[in-house]
Amino acid sequence: MPRVSRKQADLNRETIVDAATRLFRERGLHGISVVDVMAAAGLTHGGFYGHFESKEALAKEASERVFKEVGTRWRERIATTDDKATARRALIEPYLSAHSRDNPGESCPVVAFAGDMCHESAESGLREPFMAGLNRLLDSFGKLMDSEDPTENRQQALVQYSLMVGALTLARATRGEALSDEILEAAQHFLTAEKPEPPSPA
Amino acid sequence: MPRVSRKQADLNRETIVDAATRLFRERGLHGISVVDVMAAAGLTHGGFYGHFESKEALAKEASERVFKEVGTRWRERIATTDDKATARRALIEPYLSAHSRDNPGESCPVVAFAGDMCHESAESGLREPFMAGLNRLLDSFGKLMDSEDPTENRQQALVQYSLMVGALTLARATRGEALSDEILEAAQHFLTAEKPEPPSPA
DNA sequence: TGTACATCAGTGAACGCGCGTTCACTGATGTAC
DNA sequence: TGTACATCAGTGAACGCGCGTTCACTGATGTAC
């Protein structure tokens, strides 16, 4: 049925980008076709280039949207409490949950895209939203560290976030094996255990 | 030049698998073609199916080889010392180096394949060598932890290795940015700093 | 050892397929009167 | 408000391309005598 209303066309565009934010996270930046995204949005492939200049342009736009959404989600979770340790748990526990592992389409875009980003050329338009999004997430996360020293604070954030990314990546790669749960639990226990203090003051 | 000697044919096969161990790690499990591997081995694509049943069969064989090689490399590094902390450093420092980040073709297959493995079907022949290889690396690594309690030992190994995987993955994904070095340094500092006892969370 | 011939490793053209992208077409939408 | 027509969002066939895989062919290798 050709020629829908301008309003419907705008809605369709949103639907396509939304489908893309899910599918790219589920199957990787090169794991879905234009036909796949359009079908997921309930459309046929021909109309795609009326909305986007290229498949990469959609990937870039979907990437920007998903980083924005996840940034907002993080800020909401952090805002539920004034206590840093509690806020950190409010981020980490869902992040390292079985639900997060089993639903990459709704979860962290850093984990979803990091592997592909390694093979992306330096000129790829996908690097910029990835870097910007990652930096924003790291900034949010850094505010929840418990050191007074900003340098140490930053290091803590980098270490803890790297652990979260590594654990979720490995848990997904080993999904279905006992090891997968073991990794999530070990990382979660380590990151959310009550701590005497940061190690430096002792 | 058709029909080389049987011995040369065996050598060619080895060359193909060796090229594959490098290329699959560099560009991902779905980032290279049969033409690419054969060209890297100095051959044309037509002869490929005289050596392997399919592209996936090569990927599986290359995966097995690279895990075996890296397992041997780890054991050699560990064997250079009797001190657990020293041995752990002998693994971690090269693992989280700029050289490792910049040369995925020579580095850890877990990091190279984990992202792709998430999208691999449960029946994929590539899961088995990945799981077996990962389990062997984790066992080697676990022997270097410094807890007496085996449960805690295992948790330490899972946490530290997840951190290594996450940090190297993120460092590769952000290659060229200051953040990339920052991540490697933070993770390395955290993992190799002198510790009072169990790895105090940072 | 020398010869005649069968074998078969590697070559490159060809296959079917799915991909990103283009385009002629359709018919409801939106607008000018 | 109603009508006539231009616009243009979506359709589906078609494009060129690269991919995994197949195959007829070549000529050096390996072997039977």
Count of Cβ atoms closer than 10 Å to residue B101 Cβ? 25
Question: Which residues of chain B lie closer than 8 angstroms to A134, CB-CB?
Answer: 170, 173-174, 179
Structural domains in chain A? Answer: 58-192 (1.10.357.10)
Gyration radius (Cα) of chain B, Å:
19
Determine whether the interchain pair A118/B131 forms a contact, defined as Cβ–Cβ distance below 8 Å.
no
Would you say the C-beta of A119 is within 7 Å of strand D? Answer: no
CA-to-C1' span, A38 to C3 (A): 69
CA-to-C1' span, B58 to D30 (A): 28
Query: Per-residue pLDDT for B31 more than 80?
Result: yes
CA-to-C1' span, B187 to C24 (A): 58
Least confident window among A104-108, A112-116, B146-150: B146-150
| Residue pLDDT, tens place only, B66-76 | 999 999 999 99
Query: Per-residue pLDDT for A175 more than 90?
Result: yes
Task: Specify the pLDDT at position B146.
Answer: 87
Rounded-to-integer distance, Cα A28 and Cα A39, Å? 17
| Residue pLDDT, tens place only, B113-155 | 999 999 999 989 999 999 999 999 999 999 999 889 999 999 9
Would you say the C-beta of B176 is within 7 Å of strand C? Answer: no
| Residue pLDDT, tens place only, A60-93 | 999 999 999 999 999 999 999 999 999 999 999 9
Residue position matching structure tokens 């829908």: A4
Query: Per-residue pLDDT for B196 more than 90?
Result: no
Nucleotide with minimal C1' distance from the CA of A56 is C20
3-state SS class at A41: coil
Calculate the alpha carbon distances from A172 to A54, A98, A114, A137, B166 in Å. Answer: 30, 9, 13, 21, 13
Query: Per-residue pLDDT for B23 more than 50?
Result: yes
Give the pLDDT band of residue A197 (cuts 50, 70, 90): very low
Mutate to test the interface with B, among A118, A131, A161, A188 (most CBs of B within 10 A): A118
Å between B3 CA and nearest CA of chain A: 37
Å between A83 CA and nearest CA of chain B: 18
Largest Cα–Cα distance in chain B?
Answer: 65
Calculate what percentage of chain B has a pLDDT beyond 90.
91
Q: Give residues with Cβ within 8 angstroms of B15, minimum separation 6.
A: B41, B42, B43
Task: Specify the pLDDT at position A1.
Answer: 62
**B44-50, long-range: CB < 8 A, 24+ apart:** B47/B12, B48/B16
Task: Specify the pLDDT at position A195.
Answer: 63
Average pLDDT over residues B9-29: 98
